[in-house]
Amino acid sequence: MSLFEKIRQFLFRDSARTFGTCSVALLVLLAVVPAKDHFREWLGYQNGYERLIRNRSDGVSLARRFQGGVRQTWLPELQVVDRCTTCHVSLKEASLAGVAQPFRPHPPIPHALNEFGCVMCHRGQGFATTVEDAHNSTLAWEQPILPARYVESSCGQCHERPLTGTPQLNSGREMLASYGCVNCHKVLSPEGRAMTATDNPPPLSHVASKTSREWIFAWLKNPQAYAATATMPNFQLSDDDARDLSAFLISQSTPYLEGAPRKSAPSAGDAQQGASVYGESYCASCHAMQNAAGLMVGGNVGPELTRVGSKVKPEWLAEWLRNPKTYDPETAMPHYRFEDKDIGLVMGFLGTKTDSDFLANVKLEPATPAQIEHGKRLVNERGCASCHEINGIPRPDNFAPELSAVGSLALSKIVFVPGMQHTLPDYIAAKIRNPRSFGSALKMPQFTLADSQVDALVTALLAQTTRAKTLPVALRIQAPPPSTYQPAGKAAKLIADMRCFSCHMINGRGGSMAPELTWEGSSVQRSWLVNFLKRPNTLRPALIRRMPKFNMTDEEANTLADYIMAVYQTPAFDSGSADVANFAAGDAAHGKDLYYGKYACNSCHILDPNKDKGYLGPTLTQAGLRLNATWVFHWLKNAQELRPGALEITWNMGDDDARAITAFLMQQKAATAQGGAK
């Protein structure tokens, strides 16, 4: 008799024995369920929490607020189901700051935890009840927890408008536009609005007039060798490819001044004097240049000019300085009304900004038709026309994959490179950091980015989720649609010609480098404005970016001033109302006391250059010649209302104080602006 047969005999000999055996088995099975429940991982944590709080002085209150068992937050309209609070039982107990996870309280955020749940921000597998399942990333886990350094991306699912508290997300979104990512990749907001590029790459249809084939070759090989700050990526072209591309770009180029009467280019003047003109014209407000000490000085609106002398042809530079729009109608560079002498001087200065190393090893034979043909093929393959205007090459549509929902990209659809973490943030970061590591034939070029910039871009891209699209509209903080504001009339032509919008914002359109001008007409006096437009002087001593001198004619300055005075008027008050200017005797003296005493305006403004030191706000030595009294009065009461985001405090001053300080300021009519630039 086999062993099996013996056991069977023993257990199921007769019906009574069989009944007994089954009963015992059932009992054991019944016991397994509570036993299994007793060893649940989360129960261990809840027991641990009770042990943690037992001996604390606030233990009783903590215990009263503690609820055991599986806890769940269910928010159907947000598609949130999470049980994280089963183990993270004390998220709201601020007194537990500093204890180890999972019991740390949640740091303060502007949202109530039970209204948004956990996975909205942290992702992860919300309905899991074990540590491993909830947080970790396994090879096939679709939604591991989001590493803390990308957590701002979750804010971006609802907040399309920049938030003050999410600098990384804001800078990532700004980079998607300013590094030209969106020239190739479509990125749509949940409403379906496409993100637009702000980088404005130059047209190449007349490039042969501007630079040499040798320069194009060296630039294509390594743009950052020419300018460390260049945003043009490196396409990692072979010498042959760069040779053929440069050959094609030169061959497609057409003359850009055809038919127009070309003035003879002034000859390059003295570099030293040219440096003065460059400085006085505040070219450095937009253009950076490496100084003798090797430091980069200047703004980043225009290209870096450290080696510009090795790049541009003198005739082109002369024409560009005369009026940049003849070469590039879309350029952000203003039309300076330079005289030929000054053009020659700036040319002389920029001509010294050369680097003999940059083109030293570039030796190109004349191009053959086959090379040009190959160059054209490369232009199409690499998508050059996505960014640059090139003759005969249409702009490709959707050249690169759309990234509108890349933050929800399924891991199963991703081909990872051996050795990398199988998570979405790691994949996106690797794609940005070193695109060709995914295959040498890939088209995406190599960008030169700091680690923090890569993190910012990953954050912005992770915000592009499918969840964002399905959120209730009421939750979405939409970005305002881009302003299409257009000034009118003769002044509009001048505003366009001098590219005021490159730096100033008016009615929601324009840059942020210079003060907003939406209500400028209410704020200043016309005579001052005309004078300032003709000869800008320094108002804010601490600023290093300054308003350039455009060499306007009297007529132009008057046209602009008339328009600004008539149109850029706030509806909040009538700037001509006289009652504010009817100061009582003694107002000004009282105002002086308030200015230096109660309100300590001198901490930020210089009024008496011999005494005052603060230099954050505009100099007020000539306030009485510059400002409108009614504006000053209202500005002292509520500056933020007149210019949102202004650094000026909203003082909420009473009428008497505001009138007294206004009276004092309107007395300030010093003959020359102090601390002013030349």
The residue ranges that bind other proteins (CB under 8 A) are 52, 56-58, 95-96, 98-101, 104, 107-110, 147-152, 164-165, 167-168, 295, 297, 451-452, 455, 541-542, 544, 597-600, 603-604, 613-616, 638, 640, 647, 649-652
Please give, one letter per residue, the 3-state secondary structure of 81-100: EECHHHCCCCCCCHHHCCCC
Cβ within 8 Å of residue 162, ≥6 positions away:
169, 170, 173, 479
- Residue at 413: amino acid letter: K
d(CA 480, CA 88): 38
3-class secondary structure, 372 = helix
Least distance to other proteins from the beta carbon of 673, Å? 18
The smaller minimum CB distance to other proteins, of residues 164 and 484, is found at 164
16 exposed, middle or buried (CB, 10 Å; 0-12, 13-18, 19+)? exposed
Least distance to other proteins from the beta carbon of 455, Å? 6
SS3 breakdown of the chain: % helix, strand, coil, rounded to 5?
45, 5, 50
Least distance to other proteins from the beta carbon of 459, Å? 10
The smaller minimum CB distance to other proteins, of residues 35 and 295, is found at 295
As given in the structure block, the two tokens for residue 207 are: 């490039």
Least distance to other proteins from the beta carbon of 61, Å? 11
171 exposed, middle or buried (CB, 10 Å; 0-12, 13-18, 19+)? buried
Least distance to other proteins from the beta carbon of 63, Å? 14
Least distance to other proteins from the beta carbon of 509, Å? 23
The smaller minimum CB distance to other proteins, of residues 618 and 624, is found at 618
Least distance to other proteins from the beta carbon of 651, Å? 8
CA distances, 420 to each of 77, 417, 424, 458 (Å): 35, 6, 11, 16
CA distances, 161 to each of 50, 169, 188, 484 (Å): 43, 11, 14, 18
Cβ within 8 Å of residue 224, ≥6 positions away:
230, 234, 448
The smaller minimum CB distance to other proteins, of residues 11 and 616, is found at 616
d(CA 547, CA 533): 9
Least distance to other proteins from the beta carbon of 149, Å? 4
The smaller minimum CB distance to other proteins, of residues 165 and 489, is found at 165
DSSP summary character for residue 500: G
The smaller minimum CB distance to other proteins, of residues 38 and 613, is found at 613
The smaller minimum CB distance to other proteins, of residues 27 and 297, is found at 297
Least distance to other proteins from the beta carbon of 107, Å? 3
The smaller minimum CB distance to other proteins, of residues 67 and 101, is found at 101
Cβ within 8 Å of residue 121, ≥6 positions away:
146, 151, 154, 155
Helix (H) or strand (E) holding 296: strand 296-297
d(CA 662, CA 167): 37
CB 403 within 8 Å of CB 464: yes
Least distance to other proteins from the beta carbon of 542, Å? 4
The smaller minimum CB distance to other proteins, of residues 267 and 512, is found at 512
The smaller minimum CB distance to other proteins, of residues 297 and 442, is found at 297
